[in-house]
Amino acid sequence: MTNGAGFLGIVLAMLSRGRPALVLCGALVFGTCLSISTALQVIGIRVPTEFVQMLPFAAVVLLLVMLGRRSALPSALGVASVRGARDT
């Protein structure tokens, strides 16, 4: 079960435009959004779990609205992988 992490990964690859620093920053933002649910429960703040679990996806939608016009998917993202084959 990926819990939608594949969707987050595709959006992260699209928004980063092949820049490793942007991938790292985006991964930290999404990871922080995912870990907030545990932190809020430990602190004792009573927030419905559904809203906290929705936070990373809401952040993705917000980022897509703000930055999605200039982004494009990497060309190799849709290419099927063949074991043992190499691009030349």
Is 85 among the domain residues?
A: no
> Is 1's pLDDT higher than 60?
no
Q: Considering the entire predicted model, what is its pTM?
A: 0.59
Domain that holds residue 50: 5-67
Decide if 80 contacts 31 (C-beta within 8 A): no
Is 16 among the domain residues?
A: yes
Is 73 among the domain residues?
A: no
Distance CA 42, CA 6 (A): 27
More confident residue, 62 or 78: 62
Is 79 among the domain residues?
A: no
Is 72 among the domain residues?
A: no
Is 15 among the domain residues?
A: yes
DSSP 8-state secondary structure symbol assigned to residue 44 = T
pLDDT interval class at 71 (50, 70, 90): low
What is the structure's pLDDT at 74? 63
Provide the CA 84 distance to its chain's centre, in angstroms: 29
Is 75 among the domain residues?
A: no
Q: What is the pLDDT of residues 9-57, one digit of tens each?
A: 877 877 777 788 888 888 888 888 778 767 877 887 777 878 877 877 8
Instruction: State the total domains in the chain.
Output: 1
Is 57 among the domain residues?
A: yes
